[in-house]
Amino acid sequence: MGRALVQLVTVSFTASPSPMNQLTLILALLSSYISLIQSTPLNYTSVFSFGDSLADTGNLLLSGALPFPSIGHLPYGITFFRHPTGRCSDGRLIVDFIAEAFGLPMLPPYLARGADFRHGANFAVGGATALDPEFLQEIGVGELLWTNNSLSAQLRWFEELLPLLCNTTKDCRDYFSASLFLVGEIGGNDYNYGFSVGKSMEEIRSYVPNVTGAIATATERLINNGAIHLMVPGNLPFGCSSVYLTLFGSVRKADYDRRNGCLKKFNSFAKYHNALLRRALARLQRKYQRARIIYADYYGAAIPFSHAPKHFGFTHGALTSCCGGGGPYNFNPAARCGHQGSSVCSDPSSYANWDGVHLTEAAYRSIATNLLHGPYTHPPLMKQNS
């Protein structure tokens, strides 16, 4: 493309006798060239993903999935794959759509030994936390953990894989210059476990800085391992999930957002986490100016579902689960999706919520589209025209 620009400029000089006209034309050509570069997405050749069940493509299932065996059976995976894959949804996840957008295959889970990791790997594990198990044990929620493969454990997996990806410092630098690192979504389980054992909002707010600090530390560790392009998501709106609406419902109308029916205090909590995370990432960006640290606003990309669900094709709303065991939001802890007493809707794409905790493929597709082409990544994941 640079050679083409030189050729155009050369032709322009030959054809235009006026120096002023020549300068004007050169500036116009340069402007067009810069605009073209800015509108072209980076050509990522690999993606590496970390996180929890919102991003896990099979690691929890491969590790046994003892706390959540239903992900190994239909209806999980019913929509796209037609069989269970270990994804906590009816089909594809945000990470699948992002890989697809860059022309890459879906990321194999790290625990799929013998998989081809040349185009990336997924280290996310369902139930994983940003904080290490020791911290969660100390605050009294450790007995609920689905897995000990927290964010730091996933980073160790990545570092163990490094020798298979590149051999020299230059090779690694070249390889990672075209790699996208997705650091999450993670952190939600650190809070889910706390709320589940009855901890107060004030208690859980007290360790939000620890959670966001752990995510920032993980991001820094990846940068020190050669990562250049990193996308770090915030939390989804907790107050709009079926599980929170069921377990923490209130008799007070004032506790609900009149626009969407979500629980206000839990959405405010998610915003608090996201605000602290953005500050931590801003500090990191100032420290590592060669890196491109992108904040992904999952909250902003998802909250419109609740405001206007039918606009997104969710004719059954955004708060009721497609798969569940009854109740106002079709979430029943005694008959969770895939367990006896539960049933699945006939059209998951008409629901935003899949099983009370996770979203449907249709919802994840919409979020991914918003991240790729909308205003919900800062700076933009896909470079846009000015």
CATH for 115: 3.40.50
State the DSSP code for 374.
Answer: S
Q: Is residue 283 part of a domain?
A: yes
297 is known as an active-site residue: no
Beta bridge partners of 345: none
Which residue is catalytic, options 52, 190, 358, 366?
358
Q: Which range, of 60-74, 220-234, 300-314, averages the lowest pLDDT?
A: 60-74
pTM: 0.88
Residues sharing a CB contact under 8 Å with residue 89, sequence separation 6 or more, in sequence order: 76, 77, 354, 358, 359, 360, 361, 364
- Domain of residue 371 covers 42-301+367-378
What pLDDT score was predicted for residue 1? 38
Which residue is catalytic, options 46, 49, 52, 53?
53
Q: Is residue 355 part of a domain?
A: no
pLDDT confidence of 15, banded at 50, 70, 90?
Answer: very low
Residues sharing a CB contact under 8 Å with residue 175, sequence separation 6 or more, in sequence order: 46, 165, 166, 226
Structurally, how many domains does the chain consist of? 1
Which residue is catalytic, options 56, 96, 297, 355?
355
Angle between helices 264-287 and 208-224 (to 10 degrees): 30
Q: Is residue 233 part of a domain?
A: yes
Q: Is residue 319 part of a domain?
A: no
State the DSSP code for 231.
Answer: E
In terms of pLDDT, which residue wins out, 232 or 12?
232
State the DSSP code for 106.
Answer: P
In this structure, the strands spanning 323-324 and 343-344 are antiparallel
| Tens digits of residue pLDDT in 139-165 | 999 888 999 999 999 999 999 999 999
> Locate tokens 């897995």: which residue?
147
Is residue 226 within 8 A of residue 173, CB to CB? The reply is yes
Q: Is residue 224 part of a domain?
A: yes
Q: Is residue 315 part of a domain?
A: no
Q: How would DSSP label each residue in 157-174?
A: HHHHHHHHH-SSHHHHHH
What pLDDT score was predicted for residue 382? 82
What pLDDT score was predicted for residue 82? 97
Per the document, the length of the chain is 386
With 90 as the cut, is the pLDDT of residue 134 above it?
Answer: yes
Question: How many Cα atoms occupy the beta-carbon half-sphere of 341 within 13 Å?
Answer: 10
Q: What percent of the chain has pLDDT over 90?
A: 83
Residue 196 phi, psi dihedral angles, 5° rounding: -65, -30
Q: Is 8 exposed, middle or buried (0-12, 13-18, 19+ CB in 10 A)?
A: middle
Residue 295 phi, psi dihedral angles, 5° rounding: -90, 125
pLDDT confidence of 383, banded at 50, 70, 90?
Answer: low
Q: Is residue 178 part of a domain?
A: yes
- The mean pLDDT of 103-109, rounded to a whole number, is 97
- The mean pLDDT of 213-222, rounded to a whole number, is 98
pLDDT confidence of 28, banded at 50, 70, 90?
Answer: very low
With 70 as the cut, is the pLDDT of residue 284 above it?
Answer: yes
What mean pLDDT value characterizes the chain?
Answer: 90
What the block records as the tokens of 64 is 């046994």
pLDDT confidence of 13, banded at 50, 70, 90?
Answer: very low
- The mean pLDDT of 337-357, rounded to a whole number, is 97
Is residue 179 within 8 A of residue 47, CB to CB? The reply is yes
358 is known as an active-site residue: yes
Is residue 360 within 8 A of residue 90, CB to CB? The reply is yes
In terms of pLDDT, which residue wins out, 11 or 64?
64
What pLDDT score was predicted for residue 40? 37
| The dihedral sign for the CA sequence 290, 121, 119, 171 | positive
In terms of pLDDT, which residue wins out, 65 or 238?
238
What pLDDT score was predicted for residue 384? 55
Q: Is residue 58 part of a domain?
A: yes
| Tens digits of residue pLDDT in 295-305 | 999 999 999 99
Q: Is 51 left (phi over 0), alpha (psi -120 to 50) or beta?
A: left
pLDDT confidence of 50, banded at 50, 70, 90?
Answer: very high
Helix/strand number for the chain, H first, E second: 14, 8
